[in-house]
Amino acid sequence: MTGSGEAKRLIIHFHTAEARDLCVSSTHPEFPDLIFHAHDPRQLRSNEDQRAIQVTDIPFFIKKDNLMAYFKKFGNITSCRLFSRPNAKVQQARIVYDHADSIARFTDQWA
């Protein structure tokens, strides 16, 4: 099980595509609040993109801990990845929050 609240996901692996399709297409009265659907990695990536910000022009003396300390005031961070291109003079970061609401708090302050 991953996530929390609306983002909570239970991942079930099936031995066959037929078993998966049967589960997804059937009704499950014992689980009235659950929605079953086939796994779509593109959709998961899309959902993550809605919870992420891209920070650019970060000096190299700024470290991951510094970024996380600052950006956690907007919400819970699930991942933070610093990267740079070869011969770059600055670095970038991709910060992913657990909820898209965190992005709204960020843009309210900076947009």
Q: Which residues contact 60 (CB under 8 A, 6 or more apart)?
A: 84, 90, 91
Mean of the pLDDT values across residues 83-87? 94
pTM: 0.60
Question: Could you tell me the two tokens for 106?
Answer: 């960020």
Other CB atoms within 10 A of residue 87 CB: 5
Show me where the domains of the chain are located.
5-39, 46-110
- CATH code of 46-110, in short, is 3.30.70.330
DSSP 34: -
85 vs 35, which has greater pLDDT?
85
pLDDT in tens, 26-69: 877 887 777 776 766 666 666 788 889 999 999 999 999 999 99
